[in-house]
Structure 1
């Protein structure tokens, strides 16, 4: 028994369902340039501004590489608070300004 292929919704049979590269390329280039239009130093310098003065005094953004912001935290209590309660919010805030930020890793030190 031969399987029947599913016909896409709203397909009238008169045109191909694929898209040409020339249609896709401008959008893809715009997305890529938005992700790459940053400098790691800008992201590191934005850390105290985004987290606020109080937390900024007890933490330090150390590096940004491959979409991951690494932050040094002074004590285990603050580490726990940031990882458990604030990480998701902070990642979202950074992504608003810097779409290249995918994650934040905290380290006690």
Structure 2
């Protein structure tokens, strides 16, 4: 089972990724979310135990559904698939264009594998 610190780290990374995708600096997002920039930086690094209220302010400032920050974090212990989680985190950090390219690459690899069998 994930520790609470790990959950905060994952959420912080996702906030940073979405902030970068939208082109905001930490200062700009902090202002839009009505938070201090240093606090936002601590949240992004997983150093601060952000309240749900602060996380909601950030999600609203990024104009994203709150649930996106929590997707695929907590899984049933019997079905933990760390490889899938790692892939999700890696792909989630990419731009939309890069994500589409990765999906196409994965599809090509699967087709190639079928062809060789």
Normalising by structure 1, what TM-score?
0.31
Higher helix proportion: 2
Higher strand proportion: 1
Normalising by structure 2, what TM-score?
0.29
